[in-house]
Amino acid sequence: MDDKPANGRSGWKQNPAGVQKNILAVAMTEFAANGLSGARMDEIAAKTNTSKRMIYYYFGDKVGLYGRVLEEAYRQVRTGEQELELDHLSPVEALKLLAEFTFDHHSRHPDFIRIVMIENIHQGVYLEQSELIRLLNAGAIQKLEAICRRGREAGIFRDDVAPIELHWHISAMSFFNVSNRATFSRIFGNELFGAEGQNSLKNHLVEMIVALALKPDRRSRR
């Protein structure tokens, strides 16, 4: 019937980077969908192009794999953020664009949101163990610091609103929009999650953030 050797092992290429990338991609989906405890190593293995043995070969154990997935999730979104160019805009326009971008960016990366939710359930203990994530996040707030500095130098931004607070507010609304969509929509309906609803929320977010940053006498009453 078949004349290939008893084992089907001939004719493969070595590709460590590709194998790891494939495992990480599958694992991220599985962890995002089921959590750390809920994800199944056998299930992850089955969905990769490789075998369970290779997961343990490269990542040690389940927690090791989860840690790498966490790093990879942060790496992906932070990298995407860095491409945003704001220096050529006025402080207000830059702030608007940053808020809008963050809202959309989070919306485009639901798996990242879910991984962060899961990590928060675990009190952030795995995040803390990662040097890489601390480095990645160090730069996450620099754009906002630059905007605030410019806004203050121009005399139009308040002094008593810190960049970290603006970041907190922007993150809260952008994150919640994805993280709590399931329960919110099941309780209150879907109207906020269609195209118009999302646009309205985003516009309000921008409006609120700008109003918060500006000195009262600089706020337009448009």
What is the rounded distance in angstroms from the CA atom of residue 100 to the CA atom of residue 98?
A: 5
Least distance to DNA from the beta carbon of 57, Å? Answer: 4
139 binds, among DNA, a second copy, none (CB under 5 to 8 A by kind): none
Least distance to DNA from the beta carbon of 116, Å? Answer: 21
**Of 50 and 179, CB closest to DNA:** 50
**Of 20 and 174, CB closest to a second copy:** 174
13 binds, among a second copy, DNA, none (CB under 5 to 8 A by kind): DNA
Residues contacting residue 202 through CB under 8 Å, at least 6 positions apart: 100, 103, 104
Residue 212 CB-density burial (10 A; 0-12 exposed, 13-18 middle, 19+ buried): middle
Least distance to DNA from the beta carbon of 71, Å? Answer: 18
Task: Give the N- to C-terminal CA distance of the chain in Å, as an integer.
Answer: 80
- Select from 21-29, 34-42, 54-62, 93-101 the region that touches a second copy (CB under 8 A): 34-42
**Of 20 and 31, CB closest to a second copy:** 31
Q: Show the binding pattern over residues 119-158: x = contacts a second copy (CB under 8 A), - = does not.
A: xxxxxx--xx----xx--x--xx-----------------
Look up residue 161 and give its amino acid: V
Closest CA to 182 of 120, 117, 102: 117
What is the rounded distance in angstroms from the CA atom of residue 90 to the CA atom of residue 149?
A: 12
**Of 123 and 220, CB closest to DNA:** 123
**Of 57 and 176, CB closest to a second copy:** 176
What is the rounded distance in angstroms from the CA atom of residue 97 to the CA atom of residue 158?
A: 19
**Of 106 and 150, CB closest to a second copy:** 106
What is the rounded distance in angstroms from the CA atom of residue 144 to the CA atom of residue 91?
A: 10
Residues contacting residue 44 through CB under 8 Å, at least 6 positions apart: 23, 26, 27, 30, 55, 65
The SS3 assignment for 123 reads: coil
* Strand partners of residue 214: 157
Q: Show the binding pattern over residues 103-122: x = contacts a second copy (CB under 8 A), - = does not.
A: -----------x-xxxxxxx
Least distance to DNA from the beta carbon of 103, Å? Answer: 35
Q: Which residues bind a second copy (CB under 8 A)?
A: 34-38, 114, 116-124, 127-128, 133-134, 137, 140-141, 161, 164-165, 167-169, 171-173, 175-177, 179-188, 191-192, 200-201, 204-205, 207-208, 211-212, 216-217, 219-222
